[in-house]
Amino acid sequence: MVAIVAGQDTGLFHGSLAPRVGAGQSAKTFGQAGEGVFVNVAHGNLVLQRRDELLIGRGADADVLRTYNSQAKLTDDNGDAWWLGGYRLLRNLTGTVNTNGSTIVSNGMDPSSPKRHLGARLVVPTTSQR
């Protein structure tokens, strides 16, 4: 099944799919057997997702999610454009950590690159990318 999404970001979580998917969750409900295919009509980006493993127990479930993003500009472990859901990357810090006006780019599950403004006690997500 293919989901058509729209948004200026290269990932899934900052476009038209965002209201349907909570923060830190995969978009696996749109595919079968833990798979998802997403095409962004705004810029032609292709995103493929596959849930490899799922561990169900007390509390939050743990899953292993792989994501391919055709337009993500990331350096993954072997250069194949596949990103594991457990990867986290913080880069491009400007200013001093935990001071007003500083920013950092964070990559998570999908791997979009939201820029976050850091304050003394608050991290504020923004819509600006990279």
Q: Which residues sit opposite 39 in a β-bridge?
A: 4, 46
Q: Which residue has the tokens 């990279």?
A: 130
State the chain's mean pLDDT as an integer.
Answer: 68
| Residue 61 tokens, joined | 């479930």
Domain assignments of the chain as residue spans, ordered by start: 2-129
The residue type of 94 is: T
| Residue 121 tokens, joined | 């006690």
pLDDT tens digit sequence for 5-46? 776 666 565 554 544 444 444 444 555 566 788 888 888 888
pTM of the predicted protein model: 0.56
Q: Is 74 exposed, middle or buried (0-12, 13-18, 19+ CB in 10 A)?
A: middle
Mean pLDDT: which of 6-20, 55-69, 84-98 is highest?
A: 55-69
Share of the chain above pLDDT 70, in %: 52
